[in-house]
């Protein structure tokens, strides 16, 4: 008779515990499994997970840098308008507000597009590999989607705030570089 275990229990420690427990039963003569293969499989999963995490981190950093550069260019193109508003007495917060709201709106749109893409990918990966059970924990999926949505808004808000602050602090003769 063969027994198939769930992925959470396919570790050397769990298999040893299960085999010892099964051998205590009178109707079990022997328990065999390939311990070396289990160790190799678990090591490969750890390596793959590490590299996927590293590549995801690199792509996230690239995305943040691209978003930041785009926002800085957008604010740079309005630097004379910012300085004119300052000269007529507008406060820094009043000047910054429209830039921040525009960027946050774009961040929301970008986050929604990213969530749609993630949802499609998750659906097809779950359909292709149902044993992964990606959509079995809706709380985790909702937390992931919420995190991505919040990160989209936070990145644009921080980048816009920093970029506008930079041009708000410039002197008039420093605008022409």
By the 8 A CB rule, do 96 and 159 touch?
Answer: no
What DSSP assignment string belongs to 30-81? -----HHHHHHHHHHHHHHHHHHHHHHHHHHHHHHHHHHHHHHHHHHTTHHH
Note the pLDDT tens digit of each residue in 86-133: 889 999 999 999 999 999 999 999 999 999 999 999 999 999 988 778
Round to whole Å and give the CA distance between 166 and 177: 14
Name the pTM for this structure: 0.72
Round to whole Å and give the CA distance between 41 and 49: 12
Q: Give the pLDDT score at 161.
A: 93
Instruction: Return the SS3 of 2.
Output: coil
Q: Give the pLDDT score at 124.
A: 93
What is the average pLDDT across 143-170?
92
Supply the angle between the helices 79-87 and 138-168 in degrees, to the nearest 10.
60
Q: Give the pLDDT score at 39.
A: 84
Round to whole Å and give the CA distance between 6 and 8: 6
Q: From the CA atom positions of the chain, what is the Rg in Å?
A: 27
Q: Give the pLDDT score at 23.
A: 80
Q: Give the pLDDT score at 51.
A: 95
Among the listed residues 47, 57, 35, 152, the one whose alpha carbon sits nearest the alpha carbon of residue 105:
152
Q: Give the pLDDT score at 177.
A: 64
Note the pLDDT tens digit of each residue in 9-57: 777 788 888 888 888 887 877 877 777 888 888 888 889 999 999 999 9
Round to whole Å and give the CA distance between 82 and 68: 19
Q: How far is CA 161 from CA 46, 74, 138, in A?
A: 39, 12, 34
């Amino acid at each position: 008779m063969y027994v198939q275990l769930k992925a959470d229990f396919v570790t050397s420690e769990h298999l040893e515990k299960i085999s010892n427990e099964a051998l205590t039963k009178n109707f079990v003569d022997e328990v065999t499994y390939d311990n070396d293969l289990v160790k190799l499989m678990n090591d490969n999963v750890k390596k793959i997970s590490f590299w996927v995490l590293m590549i995801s981190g690199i792509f996230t950093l690239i995305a943040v840098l691209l978003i930041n550069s785009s926002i800085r260019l957008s604010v740079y193109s309005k630097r004379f308008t910012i300085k004119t508003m300052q000269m007529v007495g507008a406060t820094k917060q009043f000047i910054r507000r429209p830039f921040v709201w525009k960027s946050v709106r774009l961040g929301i749109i970008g986050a929604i597009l990213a969530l749609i893409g993630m949802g499609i990918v998750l659906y097809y990966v779950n359909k292709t590999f149902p044993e992964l059970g990606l959509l079995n924990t809706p709380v985790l999926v909702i937390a992931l989607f919420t995190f991505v949505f919040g990160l989209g808004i936070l990145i644009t808000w921080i980048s816009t705030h920093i970029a506008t602050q930079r041009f708000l602090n410039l002197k008039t003769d420093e605008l022409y570089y």
